[in-house]
Structure 1
Amino acid sequence: MAEPGLESDERICSAKGCQQPAGFDLRWNNPKIHTEDRRKHWLACAEHRESLAKFLSARGFLREIEPLAP
């Protein structure tokens, strides 16, 4: 079973107010409350990939960014 929100018909950018199709999976966790192997997902369109990644990186949460398969 796929992660919630990762099915192809639900791939909408996680940026506030954005309704564009997502092309990237920003995988993150908060090390203060999540185990090392736990990953949460924010989806991003090309326009918001950098700003969402910077937000997560500034807090030390970003783990990896992967392109979404079509």
Structure 2
Amino acid sequence: MSLFDQLAGAAGPEAPTCSRKGCRAPAEWQLLWNNPRLHTPERRKAWLACAAHRDWLQDYLVQRGLWKETLPLEPTAGTAAANPKES
């Protein structure tokens, strides 16, 4: 989808995709994290992960002290419209 499509309100991807750079696989997991230097303790940001990149993304967050928890991605009505990669 181009920037012009986004500005015009065109629908986003039908299914959430993995947050790993260059990966377009369907997301199966959500990795919840926050940066304690920037966010309040209760705030959670989310990255989405496919099965192949779950461990890599989680390790990346753990090494930086940002990871909070990893949960299965449960499809909801709002997930198709939101893209957590930009969170």
If the TM-score is normalised by the length of the shorter chain, which range does it land in? 0.7 to 0.9
Find the aligned partners of 1:36 and 1:45 in 2 and give their Cα distance: 26
Please identify runs of 4+ aligned residues in structure 1 that moved more than 4 A.
none
Task: Say if 2:24 is the partner of 1:19.
Answer: yes
Pairwise CA distance, 1:12: 0.2
| Counterpart selection for 1:34 from 27, 30, 39 | 39
Instruction: State the one-letter code of the partner of 1:16.
Output: K
Gaps of 5+ in 2: 1-12, 76-87
TM-score, with length taken from structure 1: 0.85
SS at match of 2:14: helix
Shift of 1:9: 2.6
RMSD over aligned CA atoms reads 1.4
Residue 9 (str. 1) matches residue 26 (str. 2): no
Higher Cα radius of gyration: 2
Q: Whose strand fraction is larger, Structure 1's or Structure 2's? A: 1
CA distance in 1, matches of 2:53, 2:73: 14
Alignment coverage as a number of residue pairs: 63
Of the structure 1 ranges 8-17 and 44-53, higher mean CA displacement relative to structure 2 is found in 8-17
Q: Normalised by the size of structure 2, how large is the TM-score?
A: 0.69
Indicate the SS of the match to 2:55: helix
